[in-house]
Amino acid sequence: MVEEIFDTLMIFGMLLIAGVAIRETVPFFQRFLIPSSVIAGFLGLILGQQVLGWITIPESFESIPIYAMYILMTCVPLGITVTGKKIVQHMDFAFGNMVMYGFQLAFGVLIGIILLRFWPGLPDGWGLMAVAAFFGSHGSVPIVSSVIDPTGELGAQSMGMVMATLGVLIAIIPGIILANYGIRRGWGTFTKDIKNKDKSFFRGILPEKDRKPIGRLTVNPSNVTSLAFQLGILAVSFKFGELVLSSIGALIPFMGNIPSMIYGIVGSLILWPLMKMVKFDGYVDKPTINEISNFSLEIIILTACASIQLSIISKFFMPLLILTIIICGITFIFIHLWYRKINNPEWFEKSLMNYGMATGSNPQGLSLVRIVDPNNESSIYEALGVYNAVFFWNKLLLPLAASLILVGTVVPVYLIGIGLMVVPLVLAFLLFRKKKVSGSSNSSRKSG
């Protein structure tokens, strides 16, 4: 057992380094900002027993994404604090994400049901993979696939991983084109000339001046290593969430069916305010927590891509492609029109971040923003923090929606999706219309 764990870790490490080496030497992957973990995962798939048979991909690669997702989801709410001023300032970003999440949730399921008529072998509820694969990328796929296909026999996880990979490509390629076009049109707040980006953004070693620490010490290292301590806090949060939900499930049987995928996020949501209340919040270092989250994401992407079931994909590639093109195409159009219409400060940077998130993941969004904001001057991280704070509960919607579909109840999923589309639109109209009217009034007074 120990030897198997060690071999799995070694294969993961070698594939990841190979992916980094390929990214460093092949301009195509640099130009389109394809993550090394994606390259490494598909390299493992090609070299593994399904194609060339030169290496053996461990069976554990199929289950690792689920457990790594436990860690990643526990990291999300821990250490996030927002103020009322920041919430109002960045609600355009939060609302834009909510609308797209609702659209992908409702219409992904609807289009999936329609396509089931032409490809009846698809798993029931596979259309829910739209919001999992595009809005959460590879990392969120196990949330849905573990519910609608718990045994893995239907290949739901493989379908989701392919859709997520297509989503990453759609996030990056049109995103880079839009970023270049926007800069030349003067939409960017911080960058007017894209040719000035340092080559280290694409490959090579970071210059000394750009090397930032990935975390800070919160306790003396003679006591405990910081990374291990932060991981311990995450473990306590996950276990606490498990105890809370298990206790509720014992009293309310329906709650006992809640997937273990959300134990960590519930535990963190409860423990973080309590830690602040008793002045223990100083023990938590959010940059280190984020780095653990990012490491978990690398594990999820690589192992999931390397263990894709090619026989399933070859059979259902066409419906996967159709769903991807429809959802991502509408996402691209809406997000650009949304931010341009609201026209808040840094609207173009926010639109790129939102588009990258809604078709790929946070890294794709940040990569696009980096093109137009190379010195990290924008308020994107604040906007992202506000979004995570006011819409953290979207992590609960995926397992809930998957469970509803599994028992044959689809209507509530449509209602949730449509509600997320309509309510933010109405609130945004009221909030930002008021702001513009106020701004117009101020301008009139100044003119007078």
DSSP characters over 325-346: HHHHHHHHHHHHHHHHHH--TT
What's the predicted TM-score (pTM) here?
0.63
pLDDT for position 312: 62
DSSP characters over 43-82: HHHHHSTTTT-SS---GGGGTHHHHHHHHHHHHTTTT---
Give the separation between CA 64 and CA 74, rounded to whole angstroms: 16
Angle at 441 between CA 437 and CA 445, to 5 degrees: 170
Give the tokens for residue 340.
């341009």
Helix axes 347-359, 362-372, angle to 10 degrees: 150
Neighbours of 376 (CB within 10 A): 13
Specify the 3-state DSSP secondary structure of 448: coil
Would you write out the chain's pLDDT as a tens digit for each of its 448 residues? 678 888 888 999 999 999 999 988 888 777 665 678 878 988 998 999 888 989 888 888 877 877 887 887 788 778 776 566 667 778 899 899 999 999 999 999 899 889 988 888 787 778 888 888 888 666 677 777 777 777 777 777 778 877 887 887 777 778 878 887 887 787 877 765 545 556 665 667 777 776 777 778 888 888 888 889 999 999 999 999 889 888 887 787 656 656 676 788 788 888 988 999 998 988 888 888 888 887 887 887 788 778 776 766 677 788 888 988 999 899 999 999 999 988 888 899 999 989 988 987 766 676 677 667 766 677 776 787 678 667 867 767 877 887 787 777 888 889 999 999 999 999 988 888 755 555 544 544 444 4
Token pair 């109840």 is found at 409
Give the separation between CA 142 and CA 161, rounded to whole angstroms: 9
Q: How far is CA 406 from CA 124, 125, 145, 414, in A?
A: 7, 7, 11, 14
pLDDT for position 445: 44
Strands (E), 188-279: none
366: nearest Cα among 175, 197, 225 = 175
Give the separation between CA 155 and CA 141, rounded to whole angstroms: 12
Q: Label residue 353 exposed, middle or buried (CB < 10 Å: 0-12, 13-18, 19+).
A: buried
DSSP characters over 67-134: HHHHHHHHHTTTT----HHHHHHTHHHHHHHHHHHHHHHHHHHHHHHHHHTT-TTSPTTGGGHHIIII
116: nearest Cα among 310, 323, 416 = 323
Neighbours of 343 (CB within 10 A): 10
Give the tokens for residue 131.
């919001």
pLDDT for position 392: 66
